[in-house]
Amino acid sequence: MRLVIAIVTMATVFLPVASADLVPSVALAEQNAAPAAAKDNRLRVPVEYYKLPNGLKVVLSRDQTTPTAVVAVYYNIGFRNEPKDRTGFAHLFEHMMFQGSANLGKMGFIRLVESNGGQLNGSTRFDFTNYYQVVPSNVLEPVLWAEADRMRSLDIDIENLKNQQEVVKNEVKVNVLNQPYGGFPWIDLPMTANENWYNAHNFYGDLAQLDAATVDEVRTFFKTFYAPNNAALVVTGDFSPEQVKAWIEKYFGSVPATKLPSTPDLKEPRQEKEKRAGRTDPLANRPAVGIAYHVPDRFTPEWYAFGLLDEALAQGSDSLLYDELVRKKGLTGGVNAGINFGLGSMFDYSGPMLWQAQFFHDSSVTSDGLLSAIDSIVEKVRKDGLDQSALDRARVKIRSDLYANLEQFVGWGRANLLASFALFDDDPSKINQLEEGFDKVTPALVQKTAQEYLRPGNRTVYVITPGKTGAPNEKEAR
């Protein structure tokens, strides 16, 4: 298939960073701590973790494979938690973090990083907003200085706010409003499946509400959430630990802590009855079905089991759903699915979460026909569990996928997991416990987990009906 233009994203929420060429990977561990050398053949990522007196969580993880480093600052505020009449605010705010600080004017941060050989981005997700730079390792100090400068003294003015309101509205247009299947299923399914407003609102934002944001609100949001005691700073890659610690102390040590507001209750009730919703998409010309199930709480045995179920059911062309829906029945061309689908992985969120899957199909196939084929597989797994070969493959795949996750974008993937486990669990060393967690899962637990979490009542279905048929009606003018 020809590659249709990849949209390069900057300071964005939803699309992955950068060009295909850059797609990822660098070594996980230091030369002397290579994962393959570990006795039990499990991954060992070096982790050094401490806190500054102002509460900033710091994680260092050295890897000298290439002279590059990653600086990642994660704030414990995601789009779930934004103000109730300001949908899309957390993401709009993310854009404001690139608009200048006390000692760096507009474009200053961007130029500082790029003109020193680095790449940068930011994104807003369910439970965090992150900012990161992948840089040649000799420019760590100025980058740490710049991150501290915007944490301490973001410069917010009306002109930049108006500018970024326009940019964000254009982002929503290009990714949702002018795009077939825009927002499907990653906005549609959470909005349908969840009951709690925090989990169920349109986190990309309503255009009118985006316009309504004021400078004062932006300042208040910054003061409330962008504090060292609400953040984690991760440095991975090639650095001298003593030097990096001294820089972190020097630049971040004096950023004042704030009193954080109480955290909202994100709990979701147990879903008892299947939910169905859908819409007609005037830009789409083929129907599509999205399904979602609420997943077990993080780090429970069932959560690990669900990770294996995801691998067995939906990851790769050996998966049960691919085999049935694509290869045997020809109902769809592929299976795309995952926990925290489209926005991350099973490792980088904190609150209630969904497993989602999407299927595009032809009008000759009904959504009910597709769903009954899905049911035949799901119900078999609920009844019998996974057979040994599928379970064995799931274990291999999850290990391989975990490595791939950590390798993303020259070590950013590793920083992403370390930051998440520091922010949400106060324990970044959890990165080294994941393989053990999956290894402990028994066939019986897989079946028990499928019984409860793949219940019909735990499912939500979202159907896209095409508003167009046949080829798009575009005529040429001259």
Partner 1 sequence: MKSVIIPLLAVFALAPQQSTPPVSQQKPPSAGTPKDFVLPAARRFTLANGLPVTMVPFGQVPKATIRLVVAAGNVYEGKDEVWLADLTGNLMREGTTTQSADVVAQAFAGMGGELGISVGPDTTSITTEVLSERAADAVRLLADVAQRPRLPESELERVKGNLLRNLAIQKSSPQAVAQERFSKLLYGEHPYGRVFPSESSLKGYTLEQVRTFQRDHYGAARARLYVAGVFDAAPLEAAIKQSFEGWTGAKASEPPAAPASTGRQFAMIDRADAPQSTLMLGLRVPTASHKDWVALELTDAILGGAFASRITANIRELKGYAYSPFSTLEPHPGLASWFETADVTTGVTGASLKEIYFEIDRLRKEAPSAAELQGMKNNLAGLFIMQNASRAGVISRLNFADTHKLGPDYLSSFVKRLMAVTPEDVRRVATECLTPDKMSLVVVGDEKTVKSQVTQWAQ
Residues from 129 through 188 that contact partner 1 (CB under 8 A): 134-142, 145-146, 162-171, 173-174, 177-181
- Residues numbered 241 to 270 that lie near partner 1 (CB under 8 A) are none
Q: Which is nearer to partner 1, 29 or 353 (CB)?
A: 29
Q: Which is nearer to partner 1, 138 or 429 (CB)?
A: 138
294 CB burial (10 A radius; 0-12, 13-18, 19+) = buried
- Report the C-alpha gap between 203 and 183 in whole angstroms: 10
Q: Which is nearer to partner 1, 169 or 275 (CB)?
A: 169
String of contacts with partner 1 for each residue 355-394, x by CB under 8 A: -----xxx--------------------------x--xx-
State yes or no: residue 410 binds partner 1 (CB under 8 A). yes
Residues in binding contact with partner 1, number by CB under 8 A: 113
String of contacts with partner 1 for each residue 80-109, x by CB under 8 A: ----------------------xxxxxxx-
Within 10 A of 298 (CB to CB), how many other CB atoms are there?
A: 20
- Report the C-alpha gap between 432 and 409 in whole angstroms: 20
State yes or no: residue 284 binds partner 1 (CB under 8 A). yes
Measured torsion, CA atoms of residues 222, 223, 229, 231, in degrees rounded to the nearest 10: 0
Quickly tell me which residue has 């019909």 as its tokens. 456
Provide CB contacts within 8 A for 53, sequence distance 6+.
Answer: 253
Stated as kind and residue range, the H or E segment containing 421 is helix 388-425
Question: What order of strands is seen across the sheet that includes strand 68-75?
Answer: 48-51, 57-62, 231-237, 68-75, 129-136, 119-124
State yes or no: residue 47 binds partner 1 (CB under 8 A). no
Closest approach of partner 1 to the CB of residue 369, in Å: 15
Strand partners for 462: 277, 290
- Residues numbered 329 to 348 that lie near partner 1 (CB under 8 A) are 330, 332-334
State yes or no: residue 299 binds partner 1 (CB under 8 A). no
Q: Which is nearer to partner 1, 80 or 397 (CB)?
A: 397
Q: Which is nearer to partner 1, 311 or 348 (CB)?
A: 311
Closest approach of partner 1 to the CB of residue 414, in Å: 10
42 CB burial (10 A radius; 0-12, 13-18, 19+) = middle
- Residues numbered 8 to 37 that lie near partner 1 (CB under 8 A) are 8-10, 12, 21-31, 34-36
